[in-house]
Chain A
């Protein structure tokens, strides 16, 4: 009896942490919520501690852009890796490649950030960004994306690092989803003469699309909340910029850089407001991902 009670309390702690976080973030940000409301806060570009006027637009914009770009970089690569590991690689390579990708996931984000600052950013500013400016930067529409001086501390570099970081998550969930395809179905496709690629495209992918999609949404959730990897290379500049070669800010970078400096109640409260928005957004996104993955699992059981 006593033991079951103790374990029950321990299990409830997970619920308590989540509910507690939501409650505390809400309470701490109430000052800012009262002063700025919801719509005004998320649409205002102001971030002015002196005049005590705060808005989240720039931070939200930076978060959205880096997350979206990171997904664009990561998804095709991750799915390619999953196809390689499940269908293409000879058996002796499957294990090592799988392990290598999982090790990529184990590297802490602060290492990604530091490596980004000292290694990737200089490479970006010296070679890749000028190259992009000279080639697709000349095209109409693309030119506004690649305006300015390539410094390496910008949205593009941050998105690259974030993209590399989420490749392993998407890849390993996609791989698991691919592996769930019953081999009978694949074999019957081979039996009617399909090539390997046709089996992947017409059997494996449709069969596992819910799982793959769930993996993508989980990565989206991770990218939204990632802090250290972007904190190094984004510059914490409160602005909305059309060029990917400009410094910017994300919600997490603002929190990391300004939280301990916030000297006024309304300043701290506004930072809590940002944290609350981030928490709710990632919680919703991750719930959707979990729902999709459960649905994929259930479909298979049925």
Chain B
């Protein structure tokens, strides 16, 4: 075998291996999603959404409390996290553009995006749960908001930087003060991007369980009071899946299906919007 042939074969082998690894990655995606679909659809029924949990060991019941609680916690987390994140991103991209402080804060935000979520939970436990004396939905919302903020800060900053300076100059020329330029011109130009970033950050915190374990905790009864412990789907999944009853496992699968479908749906929509709006 001559040298040339050897090099071609070597190249082929390398690429077969890399194709196999790609198939390996996709295999897990299909395996996991398929598994959640199969188990989840089998366990879906209307009671899941309209009934509260039955006492342990009793068949039946649902997860109405967890669905409502999860929605509330995520809603309030968004209400806290999004304004702070968008305004913070505005500062980095507009007022501090190019300055040291902007670079420093964006690097910190990037690091914080990957900081362990469970540590955020312990932090909120110390500053909210302990002083108040009990777990609460608010604590859960604050914990999730803290995870959202750096994500929203970074996407806002990126999206605002994409708006070209000539647009701002045109507005300045009309005599508009900077804050009006930002609110009425720059935000409008970057709105789609910022909204997408918010969507993706909601998708991200929807699946979080670790920071909720010691903040909103859980509640096996229906409660719409954010001052009390509030049930969430992810914490319920953790408790039900680790629990001893078959019916609990089934409900955990159903909840897992709902969460996965929701997150994948939002993620795909978000990616489509970015592609449609920003690539070409």
**Which residues of A line the B interface, CB within 8 A?**
2-4, 6-15, 17-18, 20-21, 24-25, 27-28, 76-81, 83-85, 87-89, 97, 99-104, 106-115, 117-119, 164, 167-168, 171, 195-198, 200-201, 218, 221-222, 224-228, 231-232, 252, 255-256, 259-260, 271-272, 275, 278-279, 282-283, 286-287, 290, 294
Contact = CB atoms under 8 A, between A and B. Distances in A.
A84 B119 CA distance: 36
B127 A279 contact: no
B35 interface: yes
Contacts, number: 268
A21 B108 CA distance: 13
Nearest to B17: A80
B252 interface: yes
Interface residues of B, number: 90
A292 B241 CA distance: 40
Given A15-B105, A256-B118, A118 B241 contact: yes
Contacts of A13: 84, 88, 149
A87 B146 CA distance: 39
A11 B88 contact: yes
B167 interface: no
A147 to B, nearest CB: 26
B91 A225 contact: no
Interface string B20-62: 1110111011011101100100000000000000000000000
The 8 tightest CB contacts between A and B, nearest first, are A108-B207, A225-B116, A80-B21, A10-B87, A7-B91, A197-B11, A3-B179, A10-B88
Interface stretch (B168-176, B189-197, B258-266): B258-266
A6 B19 CA distance: 51
Contacts of A200: 14
A115 B32 contact: yes
A27 to B, nearest CB: 8
Nearest to B126: A24
A106 B271 CA distance: 12
B14, B118, B121 — which one has the most chain A CB atoms within 10 A of its CB?
B118
A272 B125 CA distance: 11
A233 B146 CA distance: 28
